[in-house]
């Protein structure tokens, strides 16, 4: 009997009872379950299909950004002040290291890699190992760990040669800057990684998280010009991260270059000169800080702007290896190296007499021909017949007009010009307070008390005191009642650039330029032109002026006074044999906050040639005497200018 037979019989008669099951429920179950699945399918593919399609694209299309080359910065003659360099660093991707699935001896293989890395980069194998282990324990094996930064070119080359033998190790290159010369540090600034708090804002502007940004100076101010446009390549990647096809790409556009007004050799010459000329007077203490500004009075082009001491701004990118040095710089309270002294305010001293004289001539408290006998001091009879004595810096014992008063830098003449003597001579205004306010107004017209608008961040405003300011400020603890009144002494102090007046060397240079150019207040600028990568001029910085509000005649009188100062007066050490120099010395007394001793700033500001001014020089030392220390330095700068820069 074949088992294929239909005749096979199961034992027992009950096996062939008539089937009586109701199968309708089974049919419903089949239809029902598939309808449910169909509904879910429709929801996923039809209702949400488009969004899943988008996610599918994002899943495998990876956009890789290519950072643009940053624009360069060069001086007025095309000399480069920065270079673009690659910053090399070594990273380890834990998940790409040899692992237990691949090799039995994976531990040895890893150890060999760590040892080689220690040998090449100097990062200890123990540190690498523990960082890899930590990352793996935290389930972050897919994030690359940077183990060494700022590798030297030799290290980078050596590492590059062996990366193929070391799975999981990569050599990364990020764009960096090399700055060519400490003299330009305060002007150029530096680039660095984005701060966490700025990252979100920068991302909105299309920045990549690893893209460096300008941090200070021109690098920061002209960031949008220097940066360029990020390029990208879009690639299709499979699940294991292998690139399948390149889909599209856009080349990065390099940033625009900056052509500066700065003359690099002049800048270097001045930096060296200032450093070597720092006064060390036993009476006033040693100078640590200095600044100089060289500017074209007709255009506002800044040919040199030096702040002493200089420093190496490459330190920011090498902060990991030069950490102690950077720390010292940032906590430097003696020389304030990181501060640009050309943009920080100090008492301007007698250079401010230019403002006082201009105010006197324009307001009518003096005429070009007003002559006064000036002795050693001015005595003012105050309330209750108390006699106050306001000394001059020396006993002039001469009859002075405004020109010779500027030349000899007479304090008494300026006191009387600004504040009168409360008896026979009137000051700038009808009352003591009026005189103070009018003097302050003229100071502001010359640009004091507000930033000059130079194309650098972090510029100081200086300070112009007036009766309203004093009323606001001289109150509260530490002040006696009524001390916030404006006294005639305040007008006198301001008139000679002492007391509460503060001005930056750049502001003083700008004032000087206004005298030189006949009354125009120019906006200084460091950048002359912005040049595209293919050499086309994108835009030229045009000179900008405001009107001081003085007559040409007044400017001429002041200029003659300054010429006298150099020819026969207090500024005689600024004299040159071949060029007629006009200038004004300044020596501002102040109490050194560090020592508590009375000391003085040294200033000289001048222009040349007298007949056809083309250059303004302002020199400042934190300690010294204007006529003795600043004037000869200004002379050397002008000599250099006329020998080497002048066209």
Partner 1 sequence: MSSVTYGGYGNGVRTNTSVWRGWDRFDYLLTLTAIALVGIGLVLIYSGSLSFYDGPLTSFSSPVFKQVIFACVGIAGMLVVSKLDYHYLTHYAWVLYGLGILSLIALLAIGQTSYGSTRWFDLGPIQLQPSEFAKLATILALARFFSEHGGDARDLRTLLISLVIVAPVAGLVFIQPDLGTSLVFFAIWIGIVVVAGANRSHLFVMAALFIAVLPFLWTFGIAQYQVGRVAVLVDSQEDPLGDGYNVNQSKIAVGSGQIFGKGFTNGDQTQLGYLKVATKDFIFSLLSEEFGFVGCVTVMSLFVLLLMRGVRAAQIAGDTAGQLVAVGIVMLILMQTVINIAVNLSVFPVTGIPLPFVSQGGSSLVSIFIAIGILQSIVMRHRAYRQT
| Nearest one of 624, 149, 590, 150 to 345, comparing CA atoms | 590
- Smallest distance from partner 1 to CB 244, Å: 7
Tokens 């021109």 found at? 218
**Whose Cβ is closer to partner 1: residue 247's or residue 328's?**
247
Residue 294 φ/ψ, nearest 5 degrees: -120, 125
Tell me the closest approach of the beta carbon of residue 55 to partner 1, in angstroms: 5
Shortest reach from residue 29's CB to partner 1, in Å? 7
Query: In angstroms, what is the minimal distance from the CB of 235 to partner 1?
Result: 12
Nearer to partner 1, 35 or 395 (CB): 35
Nearest to 636 by CA among 342, 302, 270: 270
d(CA 448, CA 439): 11
Compare residues 62 and 388 and give the one whose CB is closer to partner 1: 62
Query: SS3 for 207?
Result: coil
Please list the residues that pair with 192 across neighbouring strands: 213
In whole angstroms, the minimum distance from the beta carbon of 131 to partner 1 comes to: 21
Q: What is the 3-state secondary structure (H, E, C) of 394-419?
A: CCCCEEECHHHHHHHCCHHHHHHHHH
Residue 70 beta carbon to partner 1: minimum distance, rounded to whole angstroms: 36
As measured in angstroms, the least distance from the Cβ of 168 to partner 1 is: 18
Q: Minimum CB separation from partner 1 for residue 24, in Å?
A: 9
Q: Is 606 left (phi over 0), alpha (psi -120 to 50) or beta?
A: beta
Q: What share of the chain is helix, strand, coil (3-state, %, to 5)?
A: 40, 20, 40
285, 590 in Cβ contact below 8 A?
A: no
Closest CA to 274 of 583, 587, 637: 637
- Binding residues for partner 1, rule: CB under 8 A, are 2-23, 25-27, 29-31, 33-34, 37-38, 40-42, 44-46, 48-53, 55-57, 59-60, 142, 236-240, 244
Beta strand 73-74 pairing with 257-260? parallel
User: Among candidates 540, 543, 529, which has minimal Cα distance to 72?
Assistant: 529
Burial label, 162 (beta-carbon count in 10 A; 0-12, 13-18, 19+): middle
Nearer to partner 1, 248 or 552 (CB): 248
Nearer to partner 1 (CB atom), residue 38 or residue 80: 38
Smaller CB separation from partner 1, 3 or 137: 3
Q: How far is the CB of 241 from partner 1 (least distance, A)?
A: 10
- Tokens at 482, concatenated: 């009524």
CB 99, min distance to partner 1, A: 16
Contact 566, 572 (CB under 8 A): yes
Q: Cα–Cα distance between 391 and 399 in angstroms, integer?
A: 16
| Among candidate residues 143, 147, 144, 152, the one with its CA nearest the CA of residue 88 | 152
> Which pair of structure tokens corresponds to residue 256?
């625009």
d(CA 279, CA 646): 28
Of 51 and 577, CB closest to partner 1: 51
Decide the pairing of beta strands 82-92 and 145-151: antiparallel
Sole residue written with tokens 């199968």 = 23
Tell the smallest beta-carbon distance from residue 12 to partner 1 (Å): 7
Instruction: Give CA–CA dist 470/404, Å, rounded.
Output: 32
For residue 174, is the peptide bond before it cis, meaning its omega torsion is within 30 degrees of 0?
no
Nearer Cβ to partner 1, position 22 or 577? Answer: 22
What's the chain's Rg over C-alpha atoms? 38
Our CB check for partner 1 shows the closer of 142 and 568 to be: 142
* The Cα angle at residue 415 between residues 410 and 418, in degrees rounded to 5: 125
Phi and psi of 145, rounded to 5°?
A: -110, 125
Kindly tell me which of 59 and 130 has the beta carbon lying closer to partner 1.
59
- Smallest distance from partner 1 to CB 252, Å: 27
Q: CA 151 to CA 603: how far, in whole Å?
A: 45
Cβ-based nearer residue to partner 1, 15 or 385: 15
How far does CA 283 lie from the centroid of its chain? 35
Min CB(164)–partner 1 separation in Å = 24
Nearer to partner 1, 10 or 100 (CB): 10
Check residue 642 and report its DSSP letter: I
Q: Which helix (H) or strand (E) holds 435?
A: helix 432-445
Which residue lies nearer to partner 1 by CB, 26 or 328?
Answer: 26
Q: How far is the CB of 50 from partner 1 (least distance, A)?
A: 7
Tokens of 156: 């980078």
Q: How far is the CB of 45 from partner 1 (least distance, A)?
A: 4
């Amino acid at each position: 009997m074949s088992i294929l037979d239909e005749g096979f019989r199961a034992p027992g008669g009950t096996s062939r009872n008539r089937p009586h099951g109701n199968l309708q429920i089974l049919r419903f179950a089949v239809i029902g379950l598939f309808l449910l699945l169909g509904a879910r399918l429709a929801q996923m593919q039809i209702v949400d299909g488009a969004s899943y399609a988008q996610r599918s694209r994002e899943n495998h299309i990876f956009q890789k950004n290519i950072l643009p080359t940053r624009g360069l910065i060069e001086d007025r003659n095309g000399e480069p002040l920065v270079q673009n360099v690659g910053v090399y660093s070594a990273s380890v991707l834990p998940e790409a290291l040899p692992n237990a699935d691949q090799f039995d001896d994976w531990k040895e293989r890893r150890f060999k890699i760590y040892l080689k890395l220690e040998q090449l980069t100097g990062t200890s194998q123990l540190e690498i190992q523990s960082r890899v282990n930590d990352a793996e324990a935290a389930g972050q094996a897919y994030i690359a760990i940077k183990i060494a930064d700022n590798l030297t070119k030799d290290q980078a080359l050596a590492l590059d040669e062996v990366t193929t033998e070391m799975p999981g190790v990569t050599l990364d290159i990020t764009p960096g800057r090399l700055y060519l010369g400490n003299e330009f540090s305060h002007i150029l600034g530096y680039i660095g990684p984005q701060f966490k708090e700025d990252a979100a804002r920068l991302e909105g502007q299309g920045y990549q998280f690893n893209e460096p940004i300008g941090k200070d100076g021109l690098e920061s101010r002209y960031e949008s010009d220097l940066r360029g446009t990020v390029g990208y390549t879009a690639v299709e990647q499979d699940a294991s991260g292998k690139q399948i096809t390149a889909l599209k790409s856009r080349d990065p556009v390099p940033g625009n270059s900056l052509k500066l007004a700065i003359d690099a050799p002049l800048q270097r010459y001045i930096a060296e000169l200032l450093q070597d000329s720092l006064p060390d007077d036993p009476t006033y203490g040693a100078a640590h800080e200095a600044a100089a500004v060289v500017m074209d009075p007709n255009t506002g082009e800044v040919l040199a702007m030096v702040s002493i001491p200089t420093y190496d701004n490459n330190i920011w990118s090498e902060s990991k290896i030069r950490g102690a040095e950077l720390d010292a710089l940032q906590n430097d309270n003696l020389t304030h190296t990181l501060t640009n002294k050309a943009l920080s305010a100090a008492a301007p001293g007698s250079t401010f007499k230019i403002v006082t004289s201009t105010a006197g001539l324009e307001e009518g408290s003096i005429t070009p021909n007003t002559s006064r006998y000036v002795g050693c001091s001015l005595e003012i009879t105050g309330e209750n017949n108390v006699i106050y004595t306001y000394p001059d810096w020396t006993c002039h014992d001469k009859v002075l007009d405004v020109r010779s008063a500027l030349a000899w830098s007479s304090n008494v003449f300026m006191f009387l010009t600004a504040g009168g003597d409360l008896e026979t001579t009137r000051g700038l205004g009808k009352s003591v307070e009026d005189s103070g306010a009018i003097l302050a107004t003229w100071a502001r017209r010359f640009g004091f008390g507000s930033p000059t608008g130079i194309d650098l961040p972090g510029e100081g405003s200086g300070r112009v005191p007036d009766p309203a300011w004093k009323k606001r400020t001289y109150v509260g603890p530490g002040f006696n009642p009524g001390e916030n009144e404006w006294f005639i002494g305040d007008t006198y102090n301001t008139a000679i650039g002492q007391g509460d007046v503060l001005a930056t060397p750049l502001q003083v240079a700008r004032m000087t330029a206004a005298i030189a150019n006949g009354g125009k207040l120019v906006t200084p600028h460091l950048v002359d032109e912005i040049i595209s990568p293919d050499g086309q001029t994108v835009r030229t910085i045009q000179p900008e002026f405001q009107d001081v509000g003085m007559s040409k005649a007044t400017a001429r009188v002041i200029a003659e006074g300054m010429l006298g100062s150099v020819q026969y007066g207090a500024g005689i050490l600024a004299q040159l044999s071949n060029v007629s120099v006009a200038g004004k010395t300044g020596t501002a007394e102040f109490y050194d906050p560090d020592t508590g001793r009375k000391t003085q700033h040294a200033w000289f500001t001048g222009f040349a040639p007298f007949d056809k001014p083309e250059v303004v020089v302002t020199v400042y030392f934190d300690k010294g005497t204007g006529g003795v220390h600043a004037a000869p330095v200004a002379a050397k700068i002008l000599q250099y200018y006329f020998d080497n820069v002048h066209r």
